[in-house]
Amino acid sequence: MENVEFTARPLERDAKIYVAGHRGLVGSAIWRKLEAEGFTNIVGRTSAELDLKDRVAVFEFFAREKPRYVVLAAAKVGGILANNTYPVDFLSENLQIQLNTMDAALEHGVERLLFLGSSCIYPKLAPQPLKEEYLLTGHLEPTNDAYAIAKIAGILQVQAVRRQYGKAWISAMPTNLYGPGDNFSPTGSHVLPALIRRYDEAVQDGVDTVVNWGTGSPLREFLHVNDMASACLFLLENYDGPEQVNVGVGTDVSIREVAEIVAAAVGYTGAIEWDASKPDGTPRKLMDVSRLTEAGWKAQIGLREGIEETVAWFRAHRDSFRA
């Protein structure tokens, strides 16, 4: 494959690393991973402390903190409903967050930066599994095209900075993520946390039938966020190329199977039904992760084990998770 450069270039453990979005699902996992790997100078700001849409504040922050490395895991993120209902928010906020952070990072000499996008950047009808080179080869899925265009602009910004300034900045595109710290909101969440919440509530309420949208047949790929964090550090230390790198497990499961695993994990013993009159969404979404696996990185956490752990986290944080 062209432009693939995997060579070990370790990060200094005592250099300052800014994790943008450090309270989010991905950012918090990256923070935990960096701490576990001995990083001693990690900085983060909540959106209330530093709104990355505020260009002046972002430049002031970089001028003051002068991080040497940046992980850009701050974004306006949501499920299909939120993306479809508020497209301009997803476009505008993400463009602003990325542009301000990367412009300030360039101005203040950030050596290595990891930008995070998602699998929705690939064309709706691209062949499966999705390979990195399918970027910009066809039309996007219309329900989240605004978000995808913002993310594609981010990938292009990373590539342009590499080309114009020779910086070792890179992009990673994770598949569907889940795990501790996820968004369990009934309107804004992704499929797996939504299922966990629904089945957990069914247990709490003594409900004996749960009806899910669609047929349950669509296939999806799920990666535990701790694996994602491990892949991010691996890429920062081993990858230095212009193309985005897919991050996933390389295999998919049906939504029906996921619902069954979730039901078992929460202790739900009632009926699981499917309302086929509701839309299924795209039949399959699987990333080709051969570039990453060939470089030596592989996911470690199995789906059943990961879901059980996430259910335990959800129950422990039931009263404090995001509304």
Ligand X SMILES: NC(=O)c1ccc[n+]([C@@H]2O[C@H](COP(=O)([O-])OP(=O)(O)OC[C@H]3O[C@@H](n4cnc5c(N)ncnc54)[C@H](OP(=O)(O)O)[C@@H]3O)[C@@H](O)[C@H]2O)c1
- Give the residues lining the site for ligand X (CB under 6 A): 21, 23-27, 46-47, 50-53, 73-77, 97, 116-118, 174, 176-177, 183, 190
Give the CA radius of gyration of the chain: 19
CB of 52 or CB of 91, closer to ligand X = 52
For the CB of residue 269, give the shortest distance to ligand X in the complex, in Å: 29
* 74 vs 266, beta carbon nearer ligand X: 74
Q: By the 8 A CB rule, do 295 and 313 touch?
A: no
Distance CA 246, CA 223 (A): 12
Is 28 annotated to bind a ligand? Reply is no
CB of 44 to ligand X, least distance (A): 8
**Which of residues 261 and 287 has its CB atom nearest to ligand X in the complex?**
287
Is 118 marked as a binding-site residue? yes
Contacts of 280 (CB under 8 A, 6+ apart): 214, 215, 217, 218
Q: Which is the catalytic residue, given 18, 69, 122, 147?
A: 147
Least distance CB 160 / ligand X (angstroms): 19
For the question of residue 86 being annotated catalytic, the response is no
Q: If you ran DSSP here, which 8-state letter would residue 242 be given?
A: S
* Pairing outcome for strands 112-116 and 284-285: unpaired
CA-nearest of 215, 237, 226, 244 to 296 is: 237
- Nearer Cβ to ligand X (52/263): 52
188 belongs to an annotated ligand binding site = no
Residue 105 CB partners (closer than 8 Å, separation 6+): 62, 67, 70, 113
Cβ count within 10 A of residue 89: 15
Helix and strand counts by DSSP (H, E) for the chain: 10, 13
Residue 167 known to bind ligand? no
Minimum distance from CB of 70 to ligand X (Å)?
A: 13
205 annotated among ligand-binding-site residues: no
Task: Measure the N-to-C terminal CA separation of the chain; round to a whole number of Å.
Answer: 44
**283 annotated binding-site participant:** no
Give CA–CA dist 163/149, Å, rounded: 21
Query: In the bound complex, what is the minimum distance in angstroms from residue 119's beta carbon to ligand X?
Result: 7
Closest-approach residue to ligand X (CB) = 24
190 marked as part of a ligand binding site: yes
Cβ atoms of 118 and 146 within 8 Å: the answer is: no
User: 169 φ, ψ to 5°?
Assistant: -95, 145
Query: Closer to ligand X at the Cβ: 118 or 310?
Result: 118
Q: Annotated binding site for NADP(+): which residue ranges?
A: 21-27, 116-119, 151, 174-177, 190
Residues serving a catalytic function are 147
Q: Annotated binding site: which residue ranges?
A: 21-27, 116-119, 151, 174-177, 190, 198, 213, 220, 280
Q: Annotated binding site for substrate: which residue ranges?
A: 198, 213, 220, 280
